[in-house]
Structure formats: C-alpha cells, structure tokens
Chains A and B, each alone.
Chain A
C-alpha cells in the first residue's frame, strides 16, 4: 500500500512549545516538500529537499526547521519562533524535482 502519510492529523501546540510533524513516503521518491495553507489562500512553500541529507529554504522558512536523514522521511519542526503557526500543513513528494508532486493528507496545527 504505497503512498504518503502524515501524522498526526490534528496537533495542538502550547505557547513557546516546539512541535514536530511527521511525513513518510514509501514511493521511493527523491524529492519531498512542505507547504503551509491558510484559509482561502494558496499553498506556500516552507522547505524542500531534492536528495537525502540536503534541503533548501522555501518562501516562508522562518520559524521552521527540517531534516532529511532518510529518503522516505522529511519531518518538519514548528519552533516557538513561528508566531502564527495555526494552519494546514501539507507534505508532498515527487520522483524528481521536475516530476509531479503528490500530497499527503495533511496535519492541522492549532495553537492553544
């Protein structure tokens, strides 16, 4: 059963807390991406990785961090420096940087 999984589906963060969102894919894709979607808006790129052990900042990387230690995993940490973290977070993967991107089911992050 191939695909992209994200967990948890819902996540609650307290003020000043760091939280980590999981993204796993078993499609053998090289490239992985993290996006943020706010209500009524398009997706904005946070971080991306085209190969293991390498990643690049996207358009809104401040307050976020990532790692890419394994091909199948690309976790996103939302740090306390991100002042407005409430959003729908979407992970995507692609066979290559030119390939079509496929999305996981997303994680909704809410601040308590």
Chain B
C-alpha cells in the first residue's frame, strides 16, 4: 500500500463546476498536511496547508479527518487556470521528509 494515495483522475470538468479531490495516508503519526499544485513541466507550488479544523482560501477548501486518515480539497467555481496536477503531501513526525501522492490531474474546459 502506498503511504499517500490519491484519486487517479484525470478530472475533466466544465468552467464553473465544483470538484473535489480525495487523499488517504497510511501513517497515523503523520503531523502536517499540504496540497501543492504542479503545472505541466513546472515545479510544485504550495496551494495550502491543511489544518485539523479545516481551512478555506477563496474558492479552495481543505479538510482533514484524522480518524479516517483522509484529506480533501474542494474547488468551487472552477476556472480554466485551475487546470493542473494537485499533489497531496504528508509530513510524518515533523521529520521534514515529505511524502507525495502521485497527483490528480484536473482539466477545466470552457
């Protein structure tokens, strides 16, 4: 079993749609959680950290369920510019060793 698993994708959605990505992690000792965005042939960039109480940044909402070891990212009112690969990332025991999911690709179409 992979340490961090994401929905396989790709997700193809029309502009304005709401889309949700899911991610599960295997190590219950995991401490920090993140969503990164990666554009084609570019480096990953931090989208948002994920906090236990859930957090929102504009159209983006992240949720964490420690009991189920599950993280989600909700994107509302999708824009063409949201097209990218979204990486679920976990830091276990604050070691600084990030574990990356394989990513979920989103394609927003006009």
A residues with a Cβ closer than 8 A to B are: 31, 33, 35, 40-45, 48, 50, 58, 88, 90, 94, 96-98, 100-106
On whether the beta carbons of A98 and B32 are closer than 8 Å, the reply is yes
Inter-chain contacts of A31 with B (CB < 8 A): 96
Q: Chain B interface: which size bin?
A: 20 to 34
**Is the beta-carbon distance between A42 and B94 smaller than 8 angstroms?**
no
| A-B CB contacts (within 8 Å), total count | 50
Q: Which residues of B contact A (CB under 8 A)?
A: 4, 32, 34, 41-46, 49, 87, 91, 94-98, 100-103
**Closest chain B residue to A43 by CB distance?**
B100
B46 CB to closest chain A CB (Å) equals: 6
Q: A33 contacts which chain B residues (CB < 8 A)?
A: 96, 98
Distance in Å: Cβ of B43 to nearest Cβ of chain A: 4
Known: A42-B102, A98-B32. A103 touches B96 (CB 8 A): no
Q: A102 near B96 (CB under 8 angstroms)?
A: no
Q: Check if B46 sits within 8 Å of A40, measured CB to CB.
A: no
Contact B102 A102 (CB under 8 A): no
- CB A2 to nearest CB in B, in angstroms, measures 15
